[in-house]
Structure 1
Amino acid sequence: MAALLRPAAAPYVASLTNCTPQQLLDQELPINVHDLQQALLEEHQLVGDGQLNERCAHHLSAWLEQRLPPINESGTLANTFLDHVSADRTALRVDQVATALNLTVRSLQRLSLKYLGLSPLSVIRRDRLQEAALHLREHPQASLATLAADLGYTDQAHMSTDFRKVLGYSPSDYRSN
């Protein structure tokens, strides 16, 4: 079982693992949660495939709600930050995002590091690179130069360098796989 959690859950996950968000970045980390695993195994035995995902998601949500502390204001703001970056394709600079969230650049930097383990600029770039990867899968013949410009890069070379750093492939190699 795997779960993708919102940024506000980072302090709880960090306390479970004795790791900071920076240490958890890009890692797969097993967490021994026997009671949750047992409940999910029982669901597998009781329910047909049609409802299994929904029922397992319900169990995970209930399990987390029992254990997670209430989301505080900074956790909500971290979630809003990620939502804003994902929704606003024109948000390419940290100062733009900070202004939109009524924060100083330094406050946004601290928030981003605390909850995401990355600088705000890295969060923005990763989001744009995920968009690029999706675009390359859906449109393998697309121009890389046009895609780079659409994502706010000054040129294709900068996008390709970031793409390789984050995803481990060049855009050309990625779309050919």
Structure 2
Amino acid sequence: MLKRFVVLLLLLSLMGACSSEQPTKNAEDGQGMEVEKGLLNVEVTLPPLFFEGENIDEVIANAKAEGIKDVKKNEDGSLTYKMSKAKHKEMLDEMKDTIIEQVNELETGEDFPSIQTVSYHKAFKEFTLQVDKEQYENSFDGLATIGLGLVGVYYQVLDGTDIEQTKVMIHLEDAATGEVFDSMVYPDALDE
């Protein structure tokens, strides 16, 4: 479980546009994460691991400056954010835009030349990368699947999916034949 938190922490640091305001919530055992949605507000608790080496007062001030109603420091070092449903939706929309930008960059950028197209499920539970198979297999373009897997996991957690139930399926399809030649599930693939 700690490995998953470390992965999510890495994702947070990579997603600069979605800074410390990103909500997730510890489950009762303090290890899982979930979003608690009420009638008017959403409460989110980020575990202490997310704030190692950070000035907590600064983190709280930044969150409030971004429109978070209240931030409470808990005894275990976690922070509970309270925000309006509108703010939560805004954060989900920003995350969605960031993921779509990442997908567009995979298709048009030069970093992963074997990737031709990327299709995805609207809740980012599944991605299909159409690739030049030979070029893909002889490159490091597989790193793109890690990025997509992580942002898909993070989006689902932010949307309220229990971390233990969160899965992102990634398929690799040969552009020449249409054959799916590999599939992986994140975050499970990180343990392999």
TM-score for the superposition, normalised by structure 2: 0.25
Higher relative contact order (CA 8 A, sep 6+): 1
Greater per-residue strand proportion = 2
For the pair shown, which has the larger CA radius of gyration, 1 or 2?
Answer: 1
TM-score for the superposition, normalised by structure 1: 0.27
